[in-house]
Amino acid sequence: MNEWFDVIKTDSEVLTSMSGKEKKKLKKVLAAAEPSEYFGQDFTKLGELVDLMKELDLIKGDKKMAKRMKTISEKNLDIIATAAKLRKDYEESYRQLREIVYPKSKGLRKK
């Protein structure tokens, strides 16, 4: 189910002005560009990897390696913060583009 907003299955001005092939391509690319829950999973996995490596005995006894792991962990947190901002910007841009293709109509509720 689409989390952005419900859509009445009528063509917008943008879609009406397109050929069938163009319309199909636009709808396909729009659907593929929708933000997904996987956006930040790689960063989460990297954090889990760093945490696991910190717990290993070979790192516990090595101050230099412990410091390196701390640096990598802090860098990953910075990446996660940047990714969260980028996600918000991406979602806003996607919403604006989607509303061009599927303008909101009366009676539709935003989720």
Which pTM value belongs to this model?
Answer: 0.66
What is the DSSP annotation of the chain? Answer: --SSB---S---HHHHTS-HHHHHHHHHHHHHHS--TTTTHHHHHHHHHHHHHHHSHHHHT-HHHHHHHHHHHHHHHHHHHHHHHHHHHHHHHHHHHHHHHS---TT--B-
Q: Which residue has the higher pLDDT, 56 or 98?
A: 98
Express each pLDDT in 6-25 by its tens digit: 555 556 777 788 788 888 88
